[in-house]
Amino acid sequence: MATAEAPATTANAPTTNTGRLARAVSRGPLHVLIIAVCLAWMIPTLGLFVSSFREGSDIATSGWWTALSSPSTLNLENYRQVLFTQGMARSFLNSLIIAVPATLLTILVAALAAYAFSWIEFRGREALFLLVVALLVVPLQLTLIPVLRMYATVGLTGTFTGMWIAHVAYGLPFAVFLLRNFFIALPKDLLESAFLEGASHFTAFWRIVVPLSVPALAALGIFQFLWVWNDLLIALVYLGGSATVAPMTVTISNLVNSFGGAWQLLTAAAFISVTLPLLIFFALQRYFVEGILAGAVKG
């Protein structure tokens, strides 16, 4: 039990749990090292960002860092082009259209299943959940051909509906795993007293489990949203090459293929595609990290 009188001695101390007398790594080099690493990590994205404001001819002849000293050369021309002539605006919309319903549906379906795995008793529950855990690592590639064929026969290829269903299905193992672990840790007494008063599973689910699980649902939502938003493979396979329904990832990869050298467009396009994830990340970092920590096994 941590002593009450010494606030800095618990493992949750704001500074460090390895003690404030740690002097073996002297402070100077430590700071230099960490800051250097952080800078190194930011440079790639920074380069993208700065270049997206430069003329194509500039990009081809000088490094982006030179633009920092002459900010007057920067403009929004690339963004205009990429959004309106190369269809990024449309792609942004498509990404949104694909990601939002997919995320919401995944949460719903996974929550129902996770509830069953936690609070409904039935034969084979453990075995079935083990199957879910096993499915966590199945590579998508394994399923592409049969599903594509299935889609072809049913006419789901190139449709948003097809994308939604696919993303929900592929996101389920992790989602169910995450939520089930959370649900099962909820206080048993709460649900027991509800059942004693005659509540059905449905009531228990909607009125007790779900409200109490908002943090986990939020974490899952963010994680799933980013996963779908950033996906390329599933879009390529099930959506095909049609520009009208392509999400941003597909559009960008097409741009790379066709405009390999037109970096002014590529950088702008890429940056547009990361603005939303970055925003979400910075605003809701905590939930994202929780999602990672809770799962840590998403294949």
Partner 1 sequence: MARVLFDHVVKRYGEVRALKDFSLEITDKEFLVLVGPSGCGKSTALRLLAGLEPASEGDILIGERRVNDVPAKDRDIAMVFQSYALYPHMTVAGNIAFGLKLRKLPKDEINRRVKQAAETLGVEQLMERKPGQLSGGQRQRIALARAIVREPAVFLLDEPLSNLDAKLRVNTRAEISKLHKRLGTTFVYVTHDQTEAMTMADRIAVMNAGEIHQVGSPQELYDRPKNVFVAGFIGSPAMNFFKARVDSADGAMDLKGNTFTMRVPRDRAPELQSYIGREMLFGVRPENIHDAQFTPTGINAVPLDVGVEVTELMGNEVFLHVEAGETKLLARVDPRTEAQAGKPTQLAVDLERMHLFDPDSEQALATVGAAAAVA
Partner 2 sequence: MAPSSKELSAGRPVSGRPDVSASARPGRRLSVAWLYLAPAGLLLGAFLVYPTISTIVLSFTDPLSGQFVGLKNYTYLFTSQQTLTVFRNNLLWLFLFTSATVTLGLLLAVLTNHVRYEAVAKAVIFVPMAVSFTAAAVIWRFMYIYQPATFAQTGVMNALVTALGGDPVAWITNRNVNNFALITSGIWMWTGFALVVVSAGLKGIPSEIIEAARVDGANERQIFWFIILPMLRSVLLVVSVTLIINSLKVFDLVYVMTFGNYDTDVLANRMFKEMFTFGNFGRASAVAVVLLAAILPLALFNLRRFRREQ
Residue 4 engages partner 1 in binding (rule: CB under 8 A): yes
Q: Tell me how many residues contact partner 1 (CB under 8 A).
A: 12
Interhelix angle 160-183/88-119, nearest 10 degrees: 40
Residue 140 engages partner 2 in binding (rule: CB under 8 A): yes
Instruction: State how far the Cα of 90 lies from the Cα of 133, in Å rounded to an integer.
Output: 37
Contact positions with partner 2 (CB under 8 A) in 153-182: 165-166, 168-170, 172-173, 176
Residue 6 engages partner 1 in binding (rule: CB under 8 A): yes
Q: CB-based contacts of 168: which residues, under 8 Å, 6+ apart? A: 102, 105, 106, 109
**Contact with partner 1 (CB under 8 A) among 15, 18, 21, 198:** 21
Contact positions with partner 2 (CB under 8 A) in 204-263: 205, 226, 229-233, 236-237, 248-249, 252-253, 256-257, 263
CB 133 within 8 A of CB 177: yes
The nearer residue to partner 1, 9 or 258, going by C-beta atoms, is: 9
CB 111 within 8 A of CB 217: yes
**Contact with partner 2 (CB under 8 A) among 4, 72, 126, 244:** 126
Residue 102 engages partner 2 in binding (rule: CB under 8 A): no
**Contact with partner 1 (CB under 8 A) among 12, 14, 15, 20:** 20
**Contact with partner 1 (CB under 8 A) among 16, 17, 19, 192:** 19
Q: Write the DSSP string, 219-252.
A: HHHHHHHHHHHT--HHIIIII-S-TTT--HHHHH
Residue 195 engages partner 2 in binding (rule: CB under 8 A): yes
Instruction: State how far the Cα of 101 lies from the Cα of 173, in Å rounded to an integer.
Output: 18
Contact positions with partner 2 (CB under 8 A) in 256-275: 256-257, 263, 266-267, 269-271, 273-274
Shortest gap between Cβ of 26 and partner 1 (angstroms)? Answer: 14
Q: 111, exposed or middle or buried, with CB in 10 Å at 0-12, 13-18, 19+?
A: buried
Residue 18 engages partner 1 in binding (rule: CB under 8 A): no
Contact positions with partner 2 (CB under 8 A) in 28-87: 30-31, 33-34, 37-38, 41-45, 47-48, 51, 59-65
Q: CB-based contacts of 125: which residues, under 8 Å, 6+ apart? A: 116, 117
Residue 11 engages partner 1 in binding (rule: CB under 8 A): no
The nearer residue to partner 1, 8 or 60, going by C-beta atoms, is: 8
Instruction: State how far the Cα of 65 lies from the Cα of 113, in Å rounded to an integer.
Output: 51
The nearer residue to partner 1, 20 or 27, going by C-beta atoms, is: 20
Instruction: State how far the Cα of 103 lies from the Cα of 240, in Å rounded to an integer.
Output: 21
Residue 110 engages partner 2 in binding (rule: CB under 8 A): yes
**CA nearest neighbour of 204 among 133, 293, 115:** 115
